[in-house]
Chain A
Amino acid sequence: MGYKCKLCPSKAVIYMRQHRLALCSGCYVQWFAKQTQRSISEMRMLRRDERVLVAVSGGKDSLSLWYVLSELGYDAEGLYIDLGISDLGYSERSKTYAMHLADKLMRPLHIVSVSKSVGKAIPELVRRSDRSPCSLCGLIKRYIMNRFAIEGGFDVLATGHNLDDEAATLLSNVLHWQVGYLARQSPILMERDGFVRRIKPFYRFTEKETALYALLNGIAYIEDECPYSVDATTIFLKGILNQLEERMPGTKLQFYNNFLAHARELFEREQAPKVQLRQCSICSMPTAECVCAFCRAIERVGGTFVGLNVVRYEPKQCGASSQSTKAAMTAEGDDNGEQCRLA
């Protein structure tokens, strides 16, 4: 019963219909790393001599990304943005997972506090705003990621977006014919004045594949949704795409890959030439207007940007000094290399 690994005599842990490939746990983690490198090389996302900042949320995708980039030998540091969401200890728990991985990788984690940077945490900003929580929070996070990457001298910013994220976004953009968004939806956005290069090395992996990678490597992550994410549409679209996938294996990958290969450039060509950017009169980051979107949003909800508040978390050495973190983590999930996290 069950599939056999295609590469060795062991029992498979996953059968990936879209690749007609069954793999055991050992072969899977190797395959996953190789595929990540393939995406990076093919899209020329990142060179060995470049410094990459990985935006980690505490979820499976971004933590797996930090892990595999380090495995592949890239100079990768983490950025955790503390949103200050105290419901069910959401932000604190997410941060603990990020710090735990920093310890495991022995790499520094930079922690930026939203409330200390703009005067108020996300819940209060959201309460005072008329836009959706995810849209406001997304704007703030993108600004912080880019600004921190620039200030920190990083060449590249990497995020954990996977195939399901990208395919759902593409479907939504197509349903509404968001031509401007379609022109810019890409696993790589090149750097330009004031903007760091942005890459999504996981764009070919499904959510199931990134979750499996985290599980097999003993990477503990936060499983609950952000309590503010009322974005049921994304989950709905992902469900529809998975129904298509069950009937027609490979649909998600083809949908997104063929868009990249044949359609995206057509939308890009249609776009008006890039407007000349100038400096925001408040924060001096690049913008097409007088005041950038971030500063306008912060002003509107009564916040004040005072510069990024950053704490650099240095990983603890293995052994006694990290006892307390270890004990805290064990309660939520096992962290022993090979063992299953949910055992």
Chain B
Amino acid sequence: MGDNVLRAIFRGKVYEFEEEKMKVRELLKRLNLSPESTLVVRDNEVLTEDELLKRGDEVRIISAISGGS
């Protein structure tokens, strides 16, 4: 079961996707996040929006947006 999903971790929550593959851009869209303000990391590597994700991948999403200044 563990390798049959694409896992995305964002703000401590785990989101799972059943698609065989999906671009980073598509993943962010599904999570309603702007690529302008998010970083996606897989295995210590920062990914561009074009990168293809597949089942079994686990990515971390970092939001760069902050409120106060």
Contact = CB atoms under 8 A, between A and B. Distances in A.
A150 interface: no
Q: Please classify how large the interface on chain A is, using the bins under 10, 10 to 19, 20 to 34, 35 or more.
A: 35 or more
B35 interface: yes
A339 B44 contact: yes
A263 interface: no
A215 B61 CA distance: 12
B11 to A, nearest CB: 9
Contacts, number: 96
Interface in A160-192: 161, 164-165, 169
Contacts of A207: 37, 64-66
A210 B64 contact: yes
Contact of B51 (A1, A161, A210, A238): A1
Interface string B47-69: 11111100000001010111111
B19 to A, nearest CB: 15
Contacts of A22: 48
A225 interface: yes
Interface string A127-166: 0000000100100000000000000000000000100110
Contacts of B69: 161, 165, 169, 234
A229 interface: yes
Given A165-B69, A208-B38, A215 B62 contact: yes
A271 interface: no
B5 interface: no
A229 B68 CA distance: 6
B46 interface: yes
B3 interface: no
A19 to B, nearest CB: 13
B36 to A, nearest CB: 4
A242 interface: yes
A44 B67 CA distance: 28
Of all A-B residue pairs in the complex, the 3 with the closest CB atoms, nearest first, are A211-B64, A13-B46, A207-B64
Given A165-B69, A234-B69, 9 more contacts: A1-B52, A59-B66, A169-B69, A210-B64, A211-B39, A211-B64, A225-B68, A226-B67, A238-B65
23 contacts: A2-B51, A2-B52, A3-B50, A15-B50, A59-B66, A60-B66, A134-B68, A164-B65, A207-B37, A208-B37, A210-B64, A211-B62, A215-B62, A216-B46, A225-B68, A226-B67, A235-B67, A242-B34, A243-B34, A245-B36, A342-B60, A343-B41, A343-B44
